[in-house]
Structure 1
Amino acid sequence: MDLMALLPIILMFVIFYFLLIRPQQKRQKQVREMQNDLQKGDKVITIGGFHGIIHALDEGTVVIQAGDGTKLTYDRSAIREKVAE
């Protein structure tokens, strides 16, 4: 009898896991892989919306060159996406 009372709550947690938590973890994993696979010359967009080309990389930072030649240093985690060329 007690198990039947807990069944709706358990079912709700299972639904939340498959609809919300699991897809979010999958997206985070894809972003981490993309950030780890960055290379010099890749076109990227930062989380702030800055578009540029990677000029240099090290473990934690990325130097991005703008169209006018300006170079800015960002944390690797600030890269939102890699633009297909």
Structure 2
Amino acid sequence: MIGIILIYAVVLGGMWFLLMRPQKKEQKRVQAMLSTMEVGDTALTTSGFYGVIIDITDDDVIVEFGNNKNCRIPMQKSAIAQIEKPSAE
């Protein structure tokens, strides 16, 4: 009986490790990306739009997608998939 409980505990622990660790790693990557954002960086949203960051507040990021076409993106929703720094040429 104790052997079966031990096997279930090991299996559940292994599943937790396999499922939670990649999620925590991704959260750390996104948090690091959002903390290095600056005005003038190019942002790729999760919906596939590229835009230039024109303003950053504590709660929102304002991204310009074209000629005076701005969008306010909440920081907590992590709708920004990727940040590209402008090249220093």
Is the TM value for this pair above 0.5?
A: yes
TM class, shorter-chain normalised?
0.7 to 0.9
1:79, CA displacement in angstroms? 1.3
Return the offset for 1:15: 1.5
Task: Write the deviation string for residues 12-34 of structure 1: whole angstroms up to 9, x where unpaired.
Answer: 11211222111111111211221
Unaligned runs of 5+ in 1: none
Amino acid at match of 2:8: I
**How do 1:1-85 and structure 2 match up within 5 A?**
2-76=1-75, 77-83=78-84, 85=86
- Which structure carries more helix by proportion? 1
Unmatched tracts of structure 2, length 5 or more: none
Separation of aligned partners in 2, 1:15 and 1:83:
36
What TM-score comes out, normalization by structure 2 length?
0.79
Stretch deviating more after TM superposition (34-43 or 56-65): 34-43
SS in 1 for 2:14: helix
User: In structure 1, what is the Cα distance between the partners aligned to 2:46 and 2:4?
Assistant: 45
* Cα RMSD for the two superposed structures: 1.7
The alignment of Structure 1 onto Structure 2 pairs a total of residues equal to: 84
Rounded Cα–Cα distance in structure 2 between residues aligned with 1:66 and 1:39: 16
Question: Any idea what SS the aligned residue of 1:48 has?
Answer: coil
Deviations 1:52-73 (A, max 9, x none): 0101110011111124342221
